[in-house]
Each structure stands twice: as C-alpha cells, then as structure tokens.
Amino acid sequence: MADLLILTSRVDADVLPSLGLLSHRVRRVPAQPAALVGAPNADAILVDARTDLAAAKTLCKILQTTGAGCPVLVVLTEGGLTAVNAEWGVDDVLLESAGPAEIDARLRLAIGRQSQGDGESQLIKASGVVIDEASYSAKVNGRTLDLTFKEFELLRFLATHPSRVFTREQLLSEVWGYDYFGGTRTVDVHVRRLRAKLGDMDALIGTVRNVGYRFTLHEDGALPSAQNVDA
C-alpha cells in the first residue's frame, strides 16, 4: 500500500476511477504551485493533465526543478498522449481509463525504481529473453519485441516463474486483474500474438494440454524443444 498525492483542479472528482478499487492511501490537493509548499509526503505524485495540458506541463516541470523526492506520473486522456515528451520530466504516464492492475503495476515499478536509485533497471533474463521492467521493453536473442502492455505483462509474469504451469484463470487473475470480466479465451489470443512476435523462439511459451501455459527454460543458445502449442 502506497501514499499517493494527486494534484488536480477537480479535487472532488475521481481522476483515476479504478484507483478506488486499490488499497492505496490517496490525498488530493489543488494543481497549483502554491499547494506544493504544504503538501504531505507521498510515495508517488499523480498530476491530472486531462483538461489542461499546458498547466499540467508547467506543474510537472516545477516538480522536476524543485525535486519531488518521489516518482511523478501524469494522468491523461488518450488524446493527450501525443503532447507528452521528455520536457515534462515525468516518470510515467497513466490513461484515465486504466484498470486497477495496470495502475498498480505502473505505480509499483515507478516507486521501485525510485527506491533502487535513478537509472537502475531490473532485468529479467531467461532462455535468451531479456526483460527490462523499468522501460517496459523486452528482447529475445538481442531482437527487440514490439509488445503491447498486456503482452509484455504476460511475458514478464511467465518468465519470472519459469517451468511453472499456470491455468488460464490464474493468468487472467495475475495479468488482467480481478476486475477483468472477459473470458479466458483472451489468454489464448494474447499467447498466440506473443508467440508470433517471438518468431522462431515461439516455443518458449509452452502449452500443457487441458491445463494452461508455461515459460520453457532451455540452455543459452539452444532452441526450446518442440512443444504442443494447441490452445
């Protein structure tokens, strides 16, 4: 559970509706530089940029200049994503429509990076796959994979539990979160897409018939043995 500070011009409204489904402690203060003087300490700061991008950018740059002391994330509408660049000085972005699992993951990673020191990345390495949690990127045998957020989370979760078999229901709970109401077929769809992007290393995601999926370990430089990949 983290202490979160939300800077918003609408202190009585939900900036991130799904945040209410998590157990984090949340405080809201006006999105004004003067409000930062007496603002409480926080593990992460969320800046509401949904309605006024220019004011939000100015506030983020002030936080960067003065030293926020914690990660700064900016909350945007999908249309606002095109306006964000390195000048904002933020650690991550969140869409206002993000679900609890995504919000929690991004907060966890941002806070974790802060506690470990700026610039340090947590790398997961297994069977030729290198996953950088700090940059949400993954490579297989040196080739960068173009993954969606859920594909990345699925690969990350499986790679951090190599050889362990997970049912579709378990993967839904761990990757999509308890708030997801779709069927387990979405797991099969994402596995197929992930395998397609892995190319000749697609057998890294193995199928255990009538059970689920697992990440297959193999010796460096060797291709995984053939797997039954029928979903």
Instruction: Kindly state whether residues 88 and 147 are assigned to the same domain.
Output: no
Residue 41, in any domain of the structure: yes
The CATH number covering residue 52 comes to 3.40.50.2300
Please give the C-alpha separations between residue 6 and each of 25, 56, 173, in angstroms, as whole numbers: 11, 12, 27
Q: Are residues 141 and 64 in the same domain?
A: no
85 & 143 share domain: no
Pairing mode, strands 44-48 and 166-167: unpaired
Same-domain check for residues 171 and 80: no
CA dihedral sign, ordered 191, 124, 163, 104: negative
Could you tell me if residue 226 is inside a domain? no
Beta-strand ranges (E) seen in the chain are 3-8, 25-30, 44-48, 72-76, 92-95, 123-126, 129-132, 137-140, 143-144, 166-167, 205-208, 212-215
Q: Looking at the 3D structure of the chain, how many domains does it have?
A: 2
What's the pLDDT band for 224 if we cut at 50, 70, 90?
Answer: low
pLDDT in tens, 173-203: 888 875 666 678 899 999 999 999 999 999 9
Beta strands in 96-164 (DSSP E): 123-126, 129-132, 137-140, 143-144
Averaged pLDDT, 148-153: 90
7 & 100 share domain: yes
Q: Is residue 61 part of a domain?
A: yes
State whether 166 and 195 are in the same domain.
yes
88, 25: one domain? yes
Q: Give the pTM.
A: 0.51
The parent domain of residue 186 ranges over 124-215
**Same domain, residue pair 15 and 51:** yes
Mean pLDDT, the chain, integer: 84
pLDDT value, residue 229: 43
Q: Which of 221, 222, 220, 215 is nearest to 155 (CA)?
A: 215
How far apart are alpha carbons 231 and 223 in whole angstroms?
21
* Spatial CA neighbour of 214 closest among 95, 224, 223: 224
Q: Tell me, what DSSP letter sits at residue 147?
A: -
Let me know if residue 204 belongs to a domain: yes
* Residue corresponding to tokens 């199928």: 207
51 and 150 fall within a common domain: no
Q: Are 87 and 145 within one domain? A: no
Residues 106 and 10 in one domain: yes
The answer on 131 and 112 residing in a single domain is no
**Domain finish residue from 56, 89, 116:** 116
Instruction: Dump pLDDT digits (tens) for 65-118.
Output: 777 778 999 999 999 999 999 889 899 999 999 999 999 999 988 888 776 654
Element (H, E) at 115: helix 100-116
The Cα 116–Cα 182 span in angstroms is 36
Give the separation between CA 88 and CA 86, rounded to whole angstroms.
5
User: What string of DSSP letters covers 49-67?
Assistant: -SS-HHHHHHHHHHHHHHT
